[in-house]
Copies of this chain bind each other. A is one copy, B any other.
Amino acid sequence: MYSKTHRQNKIKEILRDHAIYNQEELVKFLSEEGIEVTQATLSRDFQELGVVRTSAAEGSRYTLNVEEAGNQIRKLISFEILSVESNEMLIIVRTLAGRAQGVAHYIDKLNSKLILGTIAGDDTILVVPANVKNIADIVQLINKIMNEEKT
């Protein structure tokens, strides 16, 4: 048997190395690798992996999306954030070592009007609120991300 993770890793690998124009094509590719799966599952995998159609001369092919990894990234985030704390001026998010940049990037991409900006070191993020009155809301927002179930 193969695991879902294994299948999805193979998919990423294939999409990187081959031009795949539709899902049935990938069904065959995977089959040759000993992975039997239906088109319905691939449709779901694509969503999870953040696979997108990139238009090319020969037609639009499927590729991995750098910006959005679907909801995978959300799962990473909740592992990486250790705590969220604040004082009257700002919010400090503590993360696993070396993960602050990635989490800060995610927070930036939320484009929340409550947040002026972030600065990330190795395991600490400083979140600057647009207004100090927002602090409680921002803490709540980040806590929500941390504890959110996948959608």
Binding site for B on A (CB under 8 A): 2-3, 5-6, 9, 12-13, 16, 64, 66-67, 69-70, 72-73, 76, 78-83, 94-99, 101-102, 104-106, 108-109, 122-123, 146-147, 149-150
Are A82 and B3 neighbours in the complex by a CB distance under 8 Å?
no
Contact of A66 among B96, B101, B106 (CB under 8 A): B96
Number of copies: 2
Are A3 and B150 neighbours in the complex by a CB distance under 8 Å?
yes
Contact of A102 among B2, B6, B64, B101 (CB under 8 A): B101
Q: A6-B146, A69-B96, A99-B102 are in contact. List 19 more A-B contacts (CB 8 A).
A: A2-B147, A3-B147, A3-B149, A5-B146, A6-B149, A9-B147, A12-B82, A13-B147, A66-B96, A66-B97, A70-B97, A72-B79, A73-B98, A73-B99, A76-B80, A98-B101, A98-B105, A98-B106, A101-B101
